[in-house]
Amino acid sequence: MTEGLGYLAGALVEFAAPEPLFNVLWATLLGIAVGMLPGLTATLGVALMTTLTFRMGAQDAILILICMYVGAIYGGGRSAILLNIPGTPASAAATLDGFPLARAGRAGRAMGIATSGSVLGTLIGMVFLALLAPVLADFALAFGAFEFFWLALFGVVIAGRLTALGDPLKGWLAGFLGLLLAMVGQEGIHAYGRFSFGHADLAGGFGLLPALVGTFGFAEILSVMKNPAYDLVRGKVDSVIPRLREVLRYRWTIVRSGVIGTFMGLIPGVGEDMGAWVSYAAARRASKERERFGTGSIEGLMSAETGNSAAVPGAIIPVLTLAVPGSAPSAVLLAAMFIHGVRPGPLIMIEFPGFVYEVVAMILLASLAILLWGLLLTRPMLAVLRVPREKLMPVIFVLCTIGSFAIASRIFDVWVMLGFGLLGFVLREMKYPMAPLVLGIVLGDILDKSLRRGLVLSDGDPTPFLIRPISAVLAAVTVMTIVLGIPAVRRGAGRLLGRLAGGGSAN
Amino acid sequence: MIKADFVTGLIFVALGLGALAESLRMPRFETLSVNPYTVPGIVPGMLGAVIAVLGLLLALRSARAGGWRLGGEVARLVALRRSGAARRFLLAFVLTVGYAAGLIGTVPFWLATGVFVFVFIAAFEWPAAEDRGRRRRVLALAAVEAALVTIAVTLVFQEVFLVRLP
Amino acid sequence: MRSVAFVAFAALAALVAAPASAGDYPWQPTKPITIIVPWAAGGSTDQVTRVLAGELELALGQKVVVINQSGASGSIGKRNVWRAPHDGYTWAAGAPKMLGTYKLVGLFDTAIEDWLLYLDAVTPTLIGVNPDTPYQTMGELLDAMRARPGQVSVATAGVGSSGHTTIEAITQAMGLTYKNVSYDGGNPAVIATVAGETEVTTQLSTEQIEMARAGRLRILAVVADRPIEMVGLGVLPPITDWTGPIPNTLTHFGMFAPADLPAEVIRTFDMIWEERISSSQALNDYAEDRGTVFMAAFGDAAQEAVAPTVRADAWTLHAAGRTVMSPEELGIPKP
């Protein structure tokens, strides 16, 4: 332990020089910009920087990549709050409460609180990384095909339930529609082009990014232009600096979301998106102001932003100790480490003992940088709200279009963006939430392969899906979420609880 | 909303059943000695069935609330067409799709973007400008913004993010 | 981190950077070059390609962007390369031998002769088992497969991957059966074995070596016809000690593009391979560290190097019943 502290102190001293600090500042800022712009994601940003930092030393390059990663996940929340368009898929949960807060004229406060959530979430994940990395990595290995199947299903069910509180049926329809849309194109085992009808582009499937940009970006543009005018409460720009009292008040939400986010980050393939959703769900269950969730709850926004940021160090844990990436951007980070001659894996503590603590120091610096930029940039960013929609929306649409195209240089992706935008607009007009749809597209591939792989492993026997310990827990939680989401059951359960408590106060 | 739910519920049932039917038609590679649990149709078929069930629930729920009475809807839709919201939506839709599906890929990126931003701003701000002076101002500002956006986006994506612009 | 590897790398980068001038080649790219890796990021193909991309950047004086497009045994990414303009700006990376068998298994209608190959490494596969399994030697594993037909689970990176053809070659030679579990790439397949989801993996040495060095995998044999020594693992016994001669499953790695590229592009890459890649210290060091052999080849030599493995794989897959036509229809003679 003391050895670790020594390494950490050494790393911090080494980084406390003008050049590394300068790198931290610009890389984090660039990350925030990449995260904010709809159409550019954390994965794209980290991949791009891997190429650009190729000839730097290992330490400088990885420092820049980690700052980029942390900054991008943080930045995605800014556009979610200000425009209702999540900059990266990880910030979809932040729109639920962030945008209502901004509409109520409290954007400054919302961004301040989101900043403190992100910083604290990153720090919590970092503490886990520093203290428990090898132990936690084995937790990631406990997730096999059976567990991934339930996790994917749980993600869609919980997102459907949380985004359509009054009417979970529509949330689930959106979620399962997302899963079904993810089936389009060549599947990963036999390369059969499902629902492609001989169309070459369809056989490639719908890209996640064009779908995200369409359902959130383009659909939002259409809704905004359709409505008579912004009914934005302007006026008092409240304090952008989060009050310590407020942070203390939500300390348990922060700690819980941080822990959940870290664990979600650990699990390969699900990453930051699920970190935000599961934290949000848990915060809502535990909250005293549950009814305000979804209408502008500080606590809700805090939990979502803490959860996705904590998932970043969480996702780095298996990268370092198993060479298994916990999320898409961390996969690129892993490749960058190999290229720079660091060999992450089970031997890292023996071969490169100082490196883990260097990464801890890098994450610490990145979180300080987002705190600094968060406080400095919040006020200028509020200016976005004062730009008339007629001037702002065409620019956002240009970004949506070029962002969709940029991923694979395919015009087809622009069509996908338009199609999903129109679908999203129509569904939104009929009160279907969009976040479960996008999460469904993210998780569809995992669900598909995990179910089939699980059946191969068990020779078609479904019992391992139900009796393996983690599977059983996930299955129970999924079923509970569905059952409690049915209004009649909820009323009945409420009555029963009320009677048990000896009064009629339970609702 | 109840009537719309009824119709969309039925659409979801049709979609789910369609997906299920298509999944059943997917190949099972019997001749390739493939493990039967890996055939492509399993998961999409399951998802299709779930969507059909959820859609049916939605349709039944709204039907119980009277959603199946669809008479008079056509007249309402016609009336809706004349509202300001529908007009603004159509304008935004035509401009955005015209840009992304029409201009992009056929004319150079900078030209398409410049024209789109200019026309979009001008078209939406024009009705609010009462006299000639204001209209001229609207057009001038739109042109300036279009130029700035085009230059900034082209430079950032082409030079910084190394994207091959269409 | 002041590791030796890092210092060596930095020194090399400086060394190699010195004579770099982009003006010597007949083709001068005017925009970034894209290399599509048809496997997940972080895998062995991805890593070696990123090292290679760095070398190419130095040679061409132009950015080389690496993109991951995984799925369907690597055929999706390669198909996208084929669909892109054949102008030298879009390449694929990975094991070119699979280009020779995609058509056979019905994944992608292409032939290896349609591609221009530039090779940089050749890698054997290893038989690795989870240390909690009872198999201490290759003989015990083969006995278990005999005792429980179709029940021993083997993780591979999908139909036609090196891991898949390896286990097929072995089981066909011995008349055994097994349970094939496919993953999105070599790395996920190895991890599944480390986690105990599958018992065995037959993926490449590059993908297994780190876990093996840490004792999270037990290596029973190297798939070759002679013992091979690997850093940290000692001398590994060859599979042929137990099976007798089996088809060649050595896997060559490199980058490739459609063969009808403009002549000046081909000449440029031939020159780069001749002058720089074949003497690249960075690639050589990387290869040694990852349990593989550095080997630069292009043109006809590259096609000839890959041909025996393609032939062996084609007939192994055919015997496994995974092909939609006979290799003879494609002009692949029986080995």
For residue B101, the 8-state DSSP code is I
Q: What is the reported pLDDT for A504?
A: 40
Examine residue B166 and state whether it is found in any structural domain, yes or no. no
- The answer on B90 and B65 residing in a single domain is no
pLDDT for B144-157, tens place per residue? 989 998 998 888 77
Examine residue B46 and state whether it is found in any structural domain, yes or no. yes
- The answer on B156 and B90 residing in a single domain is yes
Nearest Cβ partner for C1 among A55, A58, A339: A58
Return d(Cα A256, Cα A263) in angstroms, integer.
Answer: 11
Strand-pair partners of C218: C129
Determine the distance in angstroms separating the CA of C324 from the nearest CA of chain B, rounded to an integer. Answer: 7
Q: What is the reported pLDDT for A65?
A: 92
3-state secondary structure of C91: strand
Examine residue B40 and state whether it is found in any structural domain, yes or no. yes
Token reading at C113: 């002769």
Q: Is the dihedral of CA C154, C159, C165, C168 positive or negative?
A: positive
DSSP collapsed to 3 states, A221-256: HHHHHHCCCCCCCCCCCCCCCCCHHHHHHCHHHHHH
- The answer on B41 and B18 residing in a single domain is yes
- The answer on B59 and B27 residing in a single domain is yes
Q: What is the reported pLDDT for A434?
A: 83
pLDDT exceeds cutoff 90 at B21: yes
- Residues 73-132 of chain B with CB under 8 A from chain C are none
Angle at C236 between CA C232 and CA C239, to 5 degrees: 150
Return d(Cα C277, Cα B49) in angstroms, integer.
Answer: 55
Alpha-carbon torsion angle C30, C36, C41, C46, nearest 10: -90
Chain B CB contacts of A29 under 8 Å are: none
Chain C CB contacts of B34 under 8 Å are: 322
Q: What is the reported pLDDT for A361?
A: 92
- The answer on B155 and B106 residing in a single domain is yes
Chain A CB contacts of C104 under 8 Å are: none
Return d(Cα A285, Cα A281) in angstroms, integer.
Answer: 6
pLDDT for A124-135, tens place per residue? 999 998 888 777
- A–B CB contacts, 8 A cutoff, strictly below: 158
Residue owning tokens 């639920």: A96
Return d(Cα A241, Cα C271) in angstroms, integer.
Answer: 59
Token reading at A55: 């000839």
Q: How many domains does chain B have?
A: 2
Task: Print burial letters for C223-249: b (CB count within 10 Å at least 16), e (below 16).
Answer: bbeeebebeebeebbbbbebbeebbbb
* Single-letter residue type at C96: P
- The answer on B87 and B51 residing in a single domain is no
The residue among C167, C138, C143 whose CA lies nearest residue C154 is: C167
Examine residue B92 and state whether it is found in any structural domain, yes or no. yes
- The answer on B88 and B28 residing in a single domain is no
pLDDT for A369-412, tens place per residue? 999 998 888 888 877 777 788 888 898 898 888 888 876 667 88
User: How many residues are recorded in chain A?
Assistant: 507
Do residues A368 and A113 make contact, with C-beta atoms less than 8 angstroms apart?
Answer: no
User: How many residues are recorded in chain B?
Assistant: 166
3-state secondary structure of C315: helix
Examine residue B165 and state whether it is found in any structural domain, yes or no. no
Return d(Cα A79, Cα A85) in angstroms, integer.
Answer: 6
Token reading at C296: 């630069």
For residue A327, the 8-state DSSP code is S
* Single-letter residue type at A105: G
Chain B CB contacts of A409 under 8 Å are: 163-164, 166
pLDDT for B52-103, tens place per residue? 999 999 999 888 887 667 666 666 666 666 677 888 888 999 999 999 988 8
Q: Domain ranges for chain A, please list them.
A: 2-168+177-188+207-467, 471-507
Mean predicted lDDT score pLDDT of chain C: 80
pLDDT for C47-74, tens place per residue? 778 778 888 888 888 778 777 776 666 7
Residue ranges of E strands in chain C? 33-37, 64-68, 90-94, 115-123, 126-129, 153-156, 179-182, 200-201, 218-222, 228-230, 234-236, 251-258, 293-298
Give the CA count within 13 Å in the CB-facing half-sphere of B123.
19
Do residues C127 and C202 make contact, with C-beta atoms less than 8 angstroms apart?
Answer: yes
Nearest Cβ partner for B40 among A40, A170, A194: A194
Structural domain span for residue B47: 2-70
Mean pLDDT highest for which of A432-446, B109-123, C69-83, C279-293? B109-123
Q: How big is chain A by its Cα radius of gyration, in Å?
A: 22
Return d(Cα C24, Cα A375) in angstroms, integer.
Answer: 51
pLDDT exceeds cutoff 50 at C9: no
Lowest mean pLDDT among A79-83, C18-22, C262-266: C18-22
Q: What is the reported pLDDT for C8?
A: 36
Enter the ipTM: 0.90
- Residues 48-107 of chain A with CB under 8 A from chain B are 48
Backbone angles phi and psi of B88, in degrees to 5:
-65, -40
For residue C327, the 8-state DSSP code is G
Q: What is the reported pLDDT for C24?
A: 75
Strand-pair partners of C230: C234
| Chain C residues within 8 angstroms (CB to CB) of chain B | 31-32, 63, 65, 179-180, 182, 320-324
Q: Which residue of A has its CA nearest to B43?
A: A448
Q: Which residue of A has its CA nearest to C232?
A: A347
Q: Within chain A, which residues score under 50 in pLDDT?
A: 233, 235, 503-507
Q: Which domains does chain C have, with CATH numbers?
A: 4-121+251-330 (3.40.190.150), 126-243 (3.40.190.10)
Determine the distance in angstroms separating the CA of B32 from the nearest CA of chain C, rounded to an integer. Answer: 5
Do residues C183 and C156 make contact, with C-beta atoms less than 8 angstroms apart?
Answer: yes
* Single-letter residue type at A319: V
- The answer on B115 and B65 residing in a single domain is no
Chain C CB contacts of A347 under 8 Å are: 210, 213-214
Chain B CB contacts of A168 under 8 Å are: none
Residue ending a domain, among B70, B96, B124, is B70
pLDDT exceeds cutoff 90 at C128: yes
